[in-house]
A and B are shown apart, each in its own frame.
Chain A
């Protein structure tokens, strides 16, 4: 059940819950996802992958595969132009194209189990599978390094001989797996610790986890004889795909048309592509369209999971509850190439609090695992698990209620952060108060019963969100209906929430809006739909486009009447002339467009540079079976500052979905590797994601603290609800059985070890 606490404001469309516009196609099986694309003469591509986690490639022989009847193309690293050793801003992160090329097809070394070697295309998927088995590769296995602390040892196997630590202390001079070291500091942390009455220090480890989207990666590429490349792909950012293909194939940007399909789940994992370039290469060589679809095994083994980590957190506080200092060391696994979300983890972990003295050291470390991708609040869930668990322990030591402790220390507008900068327009206090006052938190704690021990925990998470570039065009047809074309891919229902904002801005009923996703040929540059940006930043583009469109429509009404457009007024579907008193409906003005000058369109192209951050708390009641170590969730409430909920149902769904992924991360999910670095569980039986039986009905409380930088007060909502879940469950486990779980996932073995039932 979703409850919303809002300051009063009257909207016609915003705040309602219409059916999502894409629902019809999705409940009839008609929606076309990346894996469903079919083109005439299409061939099927497959990628050959390394069975070793770390090895030199001695020899590749594709001749037997090329000779197999039905095979139409083979593509190898030789088909890729040399990459420029350059790092670019792509989306929110940075991309080094030398690494991107190496990740597409390995160079002289493979760096993880599943690293692509080459690709084949054949007239049937079965023939492509047969062809893979006919490719001969000779490897010289090397010793892999699989955990972040091992990778930082002086004698660790080195992945990239030319990698030196990037640090503001000066670049490193010796080969290393530490790609970067960053330090952030505020005040005097050592002095602050000395002033504390209570100091808690703990070390934590979290396993690699995957976004778990149900639709694997897929791309279908087709070349025209003139060299126009079209790629249909499941992605969060069509323009990012275009940029990547451009950089790797050295093909002009405007000659690459990327068409985003429906997306079967993404959560950040489809900010990066793993099939587009291979499909393009195969299609060019085969001279026919080629579709490359990854299997579930490939998706788990060889896309972009999030970092496994090692962390140490120390927090000191006075007896009155005030935190005096906080220190953290974060070591995040980047996988095969640099770029772990460790700064993001540092940025979020203490962002909820006013901490006068703090130091955070972050390390971005390469290991022989797939290169990490973005996963819903990248980096934040790991560091929040550590920080919030230590804070819970501090509160317990002080005998304080965990919400009261957080209220004493919570940040407000203007609070400086350890990672720099100050908060603006945050809703944290309102979220904490709503948590303290909600029915779940006020309900009596669950009672234990024999070997079933029950407890309650709470934790607070922060996510910064994102702005960036969006493009929207509103176009009025002769009957007055309005098409809304956006470059923002719809991964969560934003076609609906954007149409709702357009309807509100234009004073029209929602039914008159027809939203659609464009492609890189038909829309202006739009950054990836990620970072919880779309309803917010593309919403701003919608409002700009609506203003532009209204101005154009007023001009057309004025032209029809022969008056000055400054004398035309508009309200709720009707244009009036203040000089003559004439009136015309929206549809009438639209109907006269041919006579008044042609097409009527409004444009909004934005680069949003400021946006509101998000806070979410989780209250969790758990039951721990002290005989089996099993943990069951009894009740779960999410409280989140959502700014303004355009579609409260969709917002509540994001909160439930994020919370559910957090539950999986907390209790069940984790990559397992053997000593040679081969992934042991690349399947959905052994990589356990929550089912209907694992998740209670998650209650949602939407707190609205409107963000002033958006016309309707929108804040990003999609990512924040995952962040504090593992910490909340850990706090509940502690409340139930008195032990502190410090490793994710918190499985039965760890709990029984902590309880002393089995040996460590």
Chain B
């Protein structure tokens, strides 16, 4: 199971839980698992099917270019974060 940090604005779906455990070998599968536990989870995070523009998935501290296809391991930490610009 991996540990998923629930964004604050989605904690209304998880009954206030800030961290939840999820099954799945990829981030995609993890989100699908959480959708079954907390209906509406997938639509909030991926309103057009893919991760919202400007957002990245961070697995074990690494921002992954593979996005939703990123593999997650046992005890992986998964969180979602906007991306940052520089000048």
* A and B in direct contact, judged by CB atoms within 8 A: yes
With A87-B53, A87-B54, A184-B8 as contacts: A171 and B85 at CB distance below 8 Å: no
What per-residue 1/0 map shows which CB atoms of A210-225 lie under 8 Å from chain B? Answer: 0100000000000000
Assess whether B62 is interfacial by the CB under 8 Å rule.
yes
With A87-B53, A94-B54 as contacts: A344 and B85 at CB distance below 8 Å: yes
B87 pairs with A377, CB closer than 8 A: yes
What per-residue 1/0 map shows which CB atoms of B46-66 lie under 8 Å from chain A? Answer: 010000111000100111010
What per-residue 1/0 map shows which CB atoms of B1-39 lie under 8 Å from chain A? Answer: 000010111101000001000000000000000000000
Number of interface residues of B (CB under 8 A): 27
CB distance from B72 to the nearest CB of A (A): 16
A-B contacts counted at CB < 8 A amount to: 100
B86 pairs with A168, CB closer than 8 A: no
B44 pairs with A170, CB closer than 8 A: yes
Query: Which stretch in A265-273, A471-479, A556-564, A747-755 binds the other chain?
Result: A265-273
With A422-B61, A609-B63 as contacts: A169 and B86 at CB distance below 8 Å: no
B62 pairs with A344, CB closer than 8 A: no
Query: Which stretch in A286-294, A528-536, A566-574, A725-733 binds the other chain?
Result: A528-536
What per-residue 1/0 map shows which CB atoms of A356-384 lie under 8 Å from chain B? Answer: 00010000000000000111111000000
A92 pairs with B83, CB closer than 8 A: yes
B84 pairs with A344, CB closer than 8 A: yes
Assess whether A466 is interfacial by the CB under 8 Å rule.
yes
Q: Is the interface of A mostly helix, strand, loop or mixed?
A: loop
Partner of B7, one of A89, A168, A269, A378: A168
**Most chain B CB atoms below 10 A, which of A168, A170, A267, A532:** A168
With A421-B61, A607-B65 as contacts: A169 and B85 at CB distance below 8 Å: no
A466 pairs with B86, CB closer than 8 A: yes
Assess whether A419 is interfacial by the CB under 8 Å rule.
yes
Assess whether A64 is interfacial by the CB under 8 Å rule.
no
Which residue on chain A has the smallest CB distance to residue B86?
A531
Q: In the assembled complex, which residues on chain B have CB atoms less than 8 Å from the CB atom of A181?
A: 9
Assess whether B75 is interfacial by the CB under 8 Å rule.
no
A532 pairs with B9, CB closer than 8 A: no
Which residue on chain A has the smallest CB distance to residue B79?
A420
Distance between Cα atoms of A362 and B39 in the complex (Å)? 26
With A420-B79, A421-B61, A609-B62 as contacts: A268 and B86 at CB distance below 8 Å: yes
**A-contacting residues of B (Cβ < 8 Å)?**
5, 7-10, 12, 18, 40, 44-45, 47, 52-54, 58, 61-63, 65, 79, 81-87
What are 28 residue pairs bridging A and B, where the CB atoms are less than 8 Å apart in the complex? A89-B83, A93-B85, A94-B53, A166-B47, A168-B8, A182-B9, A183-B7, A268-B85, A268-B86, A268-B87, A271-B85, A341-B85, A344-B84, A373-B87, A376-B87, A378-B85, A419-B81, A420-B79, A420-B81, A422-B61, A465-B86, A466-B84, A530-B86, A531-B85, A532-B86, A610-B62, A719-B86, A719-B87
9 additional A-B pairs beyond A88-B53, A344-B85, A531-B86, beta carbons within 8 Å, are A89-B83, A167-B9, A168-B44, A181-B9, A268-B86, A343-B82, A465-B86, A466-B84, A609-B65
